[in-house]
Amino acid sequence: MTDAAATRTNLLGLAPAELEAFVVSLGEKPYRARQLLVWMYKRWVGDFEAMTDLGKALRARLAEVAEIRPPQIVSEHASADGTRKWLLRAGASDGLEQAIETVFIPEVGRGTLCISSQVGCALDCAFCSTGAQGFNRNLSTAEIVGQVWLANQRLGSGSGGDRAVTNVVLMGMGEPLANYRAVLPALALFLDDRGFDLSRRRVTLSTSGLVPQIYKLAEDTNVALAVSLHAPNDALRNELVPINRRHPIAELLEACWHYLDAQNGRSITFEYVMLDGVNDQPEHSRELAALLVGHDAKVNLIPFNPFPGNRFRRSPREVIEAFRDDLNSRGVTATVRRTRGDDIDAACGQLAGRVHDRTTVRLGNKMIAVEVEA
């Protein structure tokens, strides 16, 4: 990258007010920012020269001082079931050894994009391929937003047509609430009608349970919340999801119910990966139901997706279905997630990207590399 390119402002991820201030700083009228927003987030155009309702002089000036730069595609894979996975080089200064993964899951009437918030993850959940790769760094707001922008462009969204990406879930690589400072403005842009204009019910943030950030999230935004629970008691969750040693289940659930009250949400989804002989027994479903019954909660049972070097096995189908049926019989809504993209390692828990030069390899017994400030 040249020195000139390195100093350009990446317009992806700027809030509408920030983009307006940037345009005004160039001596232009504020309405030029609205024109830029239409080109960027309604037409998915990244070339200033193609923005024909902007003056020629402004287009030339923007090319000098700004850019619309999404993550760079390293590779792209298509599953037999229509799922698509991109391996992306996030930052311009990252080598190819640092990469994230983004997954698009097409369904009838909607398209869900699973995006990453960090290069790797420090939380070290025992059954997750991302955690096994370690942690390198947080993504910037532009890098988070850029995944959704790039997917829309690659999938052919445009003005006058149906959008390809109708739902965004922060369930890819990383713990979103550990990168709160960059994730929050990305959420705002997903919801803003001048940005991606998504319904709050079509944007979902998934967390392993950073309790202080759940309380803060309730003050700062209003999106759907999913919680990676995976165990019905502290002893087992301590083993599977180590952050539980800091924020045990009772504390986590109290934060979840507060989030529902503060946001008038429909329900919270609790994700529960099904591990053969580990957390899938009848006593576990009874314990789980006792935790959640009477609350606006639903359970999404996830068949474990294996990856090399992991000791767990997927629960048999009949065990998963019996677990679901027992929860439903006890008044807790439970469904089984359909596995998608496992032939290209794009299924839940399989995203690994490329993570080297780790600042933190594992959470282990130390609670480090987790950004908890606002």
Q: Which active-site residues does the annotation give?
A: 101, 348
- Which tokens hold the place of 196? 């991606």
Distance CA 57, CA 62 (A): 9
Which 3 state secondary structure label does DSSP give 129?
helix
Q: Are 344 and 104 in contact (CB under 8 A)?
A: no
Which distant-in-sequence residues (6+ apart) come within 8 Å of 204 by Cβ? 167, 168, 169, 170, 171, 223, 224, 225, 226, 269
DSSP code per residue over 166-205: -EEEE-SSS-GGGBHHHHHHHHHHHH-TTTT---GGGEEE
Neighbours of 36 (CB within 10 A): 26
Distance CA 353, CA 361 (A): 15
Q: Amino acid letter at 372?
A: V
